[in-house]
Structure formats: structure tokens, C-alpha cells
């Protein structure tokens, strides 16, 4: 299986002039999960990675360019995630390629991404609406923060005698690409039932990702794992909506088995 240091990420790459499914670069999810102490096999959560593609194009049988947007969904239990730059290059390789119809283009992309991920990937034309959940923002808390990394689950705390069921939100999640060092920005939504999470502690914890190097999916899995271990919720749902880069944004969601995926939507920054 590929590892990040052998990818095109962070390297100069020629713009593809012909269709090439070989540009897709899978990375074993186990590489990131081992560092979280997660055993191989079925993860301790359910989830999806929802990608929004804003810059799709291909040629019809007469050579006329077609354009579209799309939503892609990769199951979190797939063996591999697909590196974002490789996905961008792959989609760009379709720009000068003819397809019989929009549906044949869709089927081709779906087939290739499913092969790379090692599990069925869905492709739907169009994007979800701008629709952020109604949540309690913790960003206006008047607190001092003296740590911007590394992520530290010891920062988390609960009010053990107070049970809550709530949806919390922060727009202050930032991490960095593990290869290029470029910043990744996200809104994060945390829904749970269990001992009430101390909001100042949660905000300090989320800000501790600010200098952390990790892929989007891995950051969300770390947040889910740390909250589960430290706060002991009855159930937990963590969704991050990352801002766009290279015509793509990604929205990983991880939750306690049995939780229903949150409705698809986009935040203002997306």
C-alpha cells in the first residue's frame, strides 16, 4: 500500500492531458489509526467522507466541453482514503476526455474511486445547499489559550454530575497538511449525550490542533477517539466541514455505531 512520502502531494505535478485512473493515490487508513491505538479491522465508529467537487469537466461525443459539480461519498470503513491532490489530478485528467453521456462519466469516476478506496464510492451530480446545523458556538468564550499543539486529550473535561444532550460548534479548527505544511481550515460540529463537556476545555482542545500535521479524516478520527476516551459519552457524532482547496472540499463524519448521518450541507466558508 502507498504511503504519503511517495505521493505527488507537495511536489510539482504536470497538468494531466489525458484520462488516467492511475493518478488516484490510495493511503491505508490503518496508518493513521494505529497511532490512535485502534485495532486493525472494523473501527470503533461509523462514518463517511463526503467530498464536494466544484470543477468537473469532460467532453461529449462531439468534443463539446461539459461542466458540473458533484458530491462523492467514501465509507469510513473502506481500507483506504484517497489523497486529495491525486483526486484533483484524476478529475482534471477527465477534462480532455470524451464520454458518451454524463452518466457514463459518472459511472467511470464512481468505478475508479471505488477501486482506489477498496469499497463502494457513490457519485451524485450537484452539491448540498448552504445549511449549517443550529448549534451552540463555543468560539466567543472569553478564555486564555496557551497551547496550539500538539493535540492533548488531557485538556478535555466534563461536568460529571450533569448529563447533557447538545450540539456544539466551533469554526476555529485548523490543522496542517502533513507533507506541504499548508493550513487546513474547518467548522466542526460535535453532538453527544453524556456528561456535559466543559466548553472552555473543548475549545482549548480543538485549538491544540492548530500546529498539528494530519490529514482531514485522521484529525476527525482523533477528535472522536479522544472525546470518547476522556468524556465517556453515551453516543457521539463529530463532523468537520473543511474549506475548499483545488476545487474540492471534504467533510469527514465519525460517530458511535447506530448514529444517523447528519443532513448534508455546506457552511458559509465552503
Q: What percent of the chain clears pLDDT 70, i.e. is strictly above it?
A: 93
The residue annotated as part of the active site, out of 49, 94, 112, 177, is 177
pLDDT in tens, 117-173: 999 999 999 999 999 999 999 999 999 998 898 999 999 999 999 999 999 999 999
The pTM of this model reads 0.91
- Tell me if 252 sits within 8 A of 240, measured CB to CB: yes
Tell me the C-alpha distance between 247 and 63, whole Å: 23
Cα atoms found within 13 Å of the Cα of residue 212, Cβ hemisphere only: 24
pLDDT in tens, 65-103: 999 999 999 999 999 999 999 999 999 999 999 999 999
pLDDT value at residue 1:
45
184 is catalytic: yes
Same fold? 4-125, 136-255: yes
The Cβ of residue 66 has, within 10 Å, a number of other Cβ atoms equal to 15
Alpha-carbon separation of residue 231 from 77, 85, 161, 217, 236 (angstroms) = 24, 35, 12, 21, 10
Bridge partners, residue 63, by sequence:
none
Region of 66 on the Ramachandran plot (φ > 0 left; ψ -120 to 50 alpha; else beta): beta
CATH 3.30.1130.10 at 136-255, yes or no: yes
Per-residue confidence at 176, pLDDT binned at 50, 70, 90? very high
| For the chain, domain boundaries | 4-125, 136-255
pLDDT value at residue 41:
60
pLDDT value at residue 142:
97
pLDDT in tens, 222-245: 999 999 999 999 999 999 999 999
The residue annotated as part of the active site, out of 49, 184, 226, 249, is 184
Tell me the C-alpha distance between 22 and 40, whole Å: 27
**Fold of the CATH domain 4-125:** GTP Cyclohydrolase I, domain 2 (3.30.1130)
| Burial status of residue 13 (CB atoms within 10 A of its CB: 0-12, 13-18, 19 or more) | middle
Amino acid at each position: 500500500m502507498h504511503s504519503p512520502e511517495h505521493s505527488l502531494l507537495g511536489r510539482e505535478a504536470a497538468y494531466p492531458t489525458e484520462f488516467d485512473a492511475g493518478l488516484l493515490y490510495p493511503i491505508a487508513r490503518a496508518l493513521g489509526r494505529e497511532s490512535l491505538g485502534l485495532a486493525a479491522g472494523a473501527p470503533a465508529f461509523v462514518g463517511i467522507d463526503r467530498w464536494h467537487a466544484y470543477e468537473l469537466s469532460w467532453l461529449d461525443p462531439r468534443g463539446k466541453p461539459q461542466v458540473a459539480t458533484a458530491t462523492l461519498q467514501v465509507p469510513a470503513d473502506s481500507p483506504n482514503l484517497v489523497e486529495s491532490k491525486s483526486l484533483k489530478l484524476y478529475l482534471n485528467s477527465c477534462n480532455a476526455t470524451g464520454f458518451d453521456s454524463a452518466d457514463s462519466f459518472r459511472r467511470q469516476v464512481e468505478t475508479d474511486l471505488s477501486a482506489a478506496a477498496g469499497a463502494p464510492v457513490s457519485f451524485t451530480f450537484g452539491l448540498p445547499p448552504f445549511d449549517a446545523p443550529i448549534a451552540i458556538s463555543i468560539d466567543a468564550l472569553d478564555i486564555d489559550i496557551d497551547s496550539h499543539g500538539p493535540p492533548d486529550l488531557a485538556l478535555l473535561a466534563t461536568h460529571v454530575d450533569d448529563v447533557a444532550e447538545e450540539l456544539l460548534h466551533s469554526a476555529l479548527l485548523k490543522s496542517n497538511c502533513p507533507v506541504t505544511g499548508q493550513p487546513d481550515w474547518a467548522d466542526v460540529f460535535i453532538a453527544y449525550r453524556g456528561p456535559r463537556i466543559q466548553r472552555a476545555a473543548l475549545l482549548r482542545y480543538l485549538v491544540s490542533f492548530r500546529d498539528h500535521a494530519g490529514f482531514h479524516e485522521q484529525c476527525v478520527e482523533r477528535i472522536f477517539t479522544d472525546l470518547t476516551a476522556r468524556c465517556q459519552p453515551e453516543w457521539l457524532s463529530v463532523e468537520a466541514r473543511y474549506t475548499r482547496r483545488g476545487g474540492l472540499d471534504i467533510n469527514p463524519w465519525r460517530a458511535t455505531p447506530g448514529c444517523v448521518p447528519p443532513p448534508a450541507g455546506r457552511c458559509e466558508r465552503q
